[in-house]
Amino acid sequence: MDGKKIIGKKIIPALLAVFLSVPAAAAANPPAAAFVVKEVSVPDEKAVFATVESANVVPARARIGGTLADLTVRAGDAVTQGQVIAVVGDKKIALQIDALDAQIKGYAATAAQAQKENARQKKLLAEGIASRAAMEQARKNYSVALSAENAALAERDVLRRRIADGAVRAPVAGRVLDVPVTADTVVMPGETIATVAEQHYILRLEVPERHAASIHVGDAVRLDGGAADKAAAQGKITLVYPLIKNGRVEADAAAPGLGDYFVGQRVRVWISVGARRTIVIPPDDIFSRFGVYYARIQRPDGKTEAVPVQRGQLLPKGREILSGLHDGDVVVRP
C-alpha cells in the first residue's frame, strides 16, 4: 500500500507538469496573429418581450344578405388576395330573376309587334292611305315597348350582379385568423365571414417608461437566438407610439423571418438603452479545455500563458469578456 502512495505521488505531479507545459510548448512558436485588448463602448441592451402581430388585420365581409351556402376556409389557412373563401346565396334573387325573364319575354313580344305596326304605317303613309298621326303613334308605341324591354334587362343584370356579389373574397393575402360563422348560417350585409391577417408581421414591443427616451426609430433590436453561440436575427424599430399605457411605451419593429411565428406569440428581444464599456475579443481567440474557457496572453518576457476567462454575450464586434482579461493585454490565437 505504501508503494502505491509513493507511485501516486510521483505520477500526479508529472501529469500536472505535462498539462501546464502545453501552453509553454505552444509559446515556443507563438502565432503571428495577436490582438491588443482595449475597452470599447458597446450598446447596453435590455431584454423585453414583444408580440408578433400582423401589420393589418382585415375582415372579409358579406356584401349581400342570405344563407352561407359554401365556406371553403378555416382558421390557419393561407389565402391569396381575391380568393373566394365563401359564397352567400339568396333564393329570393333567383325567383326575382325568373319573374323578370317572363316579363322580358312579354316586353320582347310587344316590341316586335310594335315594330311591325310601325313598318306597316310607314308603308301606308308612303301610299297615301294612312295619316302621319297614325305613323307617329305607331313609332311611339314601338319606342315605349323597346324601353320597357331594356329596363327589364337592366334590372335582371342587377340581380345577377347581386348573385356575383355573394362570393366573399379575401381582401388581402395572408392567413385566416378566425372564422366566426359556419355553413348554412344566415348572414346580413356587412357581416364578417373571416378575419385575415396580412402576411407582413411586425414585433409590438412594450418598453418600461424609464427607457422611453432611449428608443428611437431606426434603433437596432435583436431577437433572442435561443442559444449562446447562435447569432440572433436583427431588426429595426419602425415606429414609437407617443402614448404611455400602464407605465409602458409601445413600439413596432420589423425583422426578417417573422412569418415562421404564430400571430400573438411572445418573443424575447433585446433593445439598446444606452452604452457601456467592456472588453471584446475575436471569438476564435478563445478555446475550451475540460469545460473551462481560456485565452492565451503574451507576457512582457515573450512567453504565453493560458488564463481562464468568463465569456459574455456574442456581439457583432466579437465575444464579450466579463473577467480574466485587462486593458492592454496581448491575446494570441491558440
Q: Which CATH number do you get for residue 154? A: 2.40.50.100
Position 30 pLDDT exceeds 50:
no
Domain boundary residue, one of 197, 214, 232 = 197
Q: 289 versus 27: which is more confidently predicted?
A: 289
Closest listed residue to residue 258, CA positions, set 197, 172, 317, 170? 197
Q: How many domains is the chain partitioned into structurally?
A: 2
What pLDDT score does 5 carry?
45
Same domain, 215 and 187: no
Position 257 pLDDT exceeds 50:
yes
What pLDDT score does 16 carry?
42
Same domain, 227 and 214: yes
What band does 225 get if pLDDT is binned at 50, 70 and 90? low
Same domain, 211 and 188: no
Q: How would DSSP label each residue in 84-140? A: EEEEEE-HHHHHHHHHHHHHHHHHHHHHHHHHHHHHHHHHHHHHTSS-HHHHHHHHH
Tens-place pLDDT, residues 146-204: 888 888 888 888 878 877 788 899 999 888 989 999 888 888 999 999 999 887 888 89
What pLDDT score does 8 carry?
46
* Residues β-bridged to residue 294: 287, 308
Expressed as residue numbers, the domain containing 192 is 57-197
What band does 15 get if pLDDT is binned at 50, 70 and 90? very low
Same domain, 77 and 187: yes
What pLDDT score does 292 carry?
93
**Percentage of residues of the chain with pLDDT beyond 90:** 11
Q: Per the domain annotation, does 120 fall within a domain? A: yes
Summary mean pLDDT of the chain: 81
Same domain, 102 and 118: yes
What pLDDT score does 259 carry?
66
Domain boundary residue, one of 197, 220, 240 = 197
What pLDDT score does 211 carry?
83
Q: Per the domain annotation, does 49 fall within a domain? A: yes
What pLDDT score does 33 carry?
63
Same domain, 61 and 184: yes
Q: Per the domain annotation, does 23 fall within a domain? A: no
What pLDDT score does 64 carry?
85
What pLDDT score does 12 carry?
47
Q: Per the domain annotation, does 94 fall within a domain? A: yes
Same domain, 176 and 73: yes
What pLDDT score does 301 carry?
85
Q: How far apart are CA 278 and CA 109, in angstroms?
A: 95
Same domain, 109 and 234: no
Same domain, 120 and 166: yes
pTM of the model: 0.50
Q: Per the domain annotation, does 279 fall within a domain? A: no
CB within 8 A of 92, min separation 6: which ones? none
What band does 42 get if pLDDT is binned at 50, 70 and 90? confident
Domain boundary residue, one of 213, 232, 267 = 267
Q: 291 versus 232: which is more confidently predicted?
A: 291
Tens-place pLDDT, residues 258-288: 766 777 888 888 888 878 888 899 888 899 9
Same domain, 210 and 155: no
**Across 123-145, average pLDDT:** 81
What pLDDT score does 131 carry?
78
Q: How far apart are CA 279 and CA 41, in angstroms?
A: 9
Q: 63 versus 3: which is more confidently predicted?
A: 63
What CATH number is given to the structural domain containing 234? Answer: 2.40.30.170
**Whole-Å CA distances, 234 to 4, 155, 281:** 60, 58, 21
Q: Per the domain annotation, does 36 fall within a domain? A: no
Q: How would DSSP label each residue in 190-241? A: T-EEEEEEES-EEEEEEEEGGGGGG--TT-EEEE--SSTTSPPPEEEEEEEE
Same domain, 255 and 239: yes
End-to-end CA distance of the chain: 42
Q: 32 versus 36: which is more confidently predicted?
A: 36
Q: Per the domain annotation, does 158 fall within a domain? A: yes
Q: Per the domain annotation, does 149 fall within a domain? A: yes
Position 2 pLDDT exceeds 70:
no
**Across 243-258, average pLDDT:** 86
Same domain, 257 and 158: no
